[in-house]
Amino acid sequence: MQFIVLGYDGTDDKALDRRMAVRPDHLKFAQKMFDEGKWLYASAILNDDGKMIGSMIVCDYPSRAELEEQWLKVEPYILGNVWQKINVHRAMIAQHDTKK
């Protein structure tokens, strides 16, 4: 089951500092999720000035409950109080032939 997860950072003056403080842990965790095939795509969300204000992840978990248990309960950006708003949406990635 595929999902799109949007995590939005806080908007206070210390939001970027919190993000940068836990970013190495987040990236290490992200690599593990990619290696396990749970994350398919990921990107920082940038504002018009190019400043990171959130994250977008397309992932694949058997269920929403497993996504929350295996990822969100241990996500460094959540534990580090970076993401202040999180939206999780079911998704279906279109299949396409990359050889054309």
- Over residues 30-54, the pLDDT tens digits come to 999 999 999 999 999 999 999 999 9
Tell whether the model's pLDDT for residue 2 goes beyond 90.
Answer: yes
What's the confidence (pLDDT) of residue 47? Answer: 95
Cα–Cα distance, 90 to 3 (Å, whole number): 4
Strands 52-60 and 39-46: antiparallel
Cα–Cα distance, 89 to 96 (Å, whole number): 22
Type and span of the H or E element at 85: strand 83-91
C-beta of residue 84 within 8 angstroms of C-beta of residue 10: yes
Q: Where are the chain's structural domains?
A: 2-91
CATH number 3.30.70.1060 given to 2-91: yes
For the entire predicted model, the pTM comes to 0.89
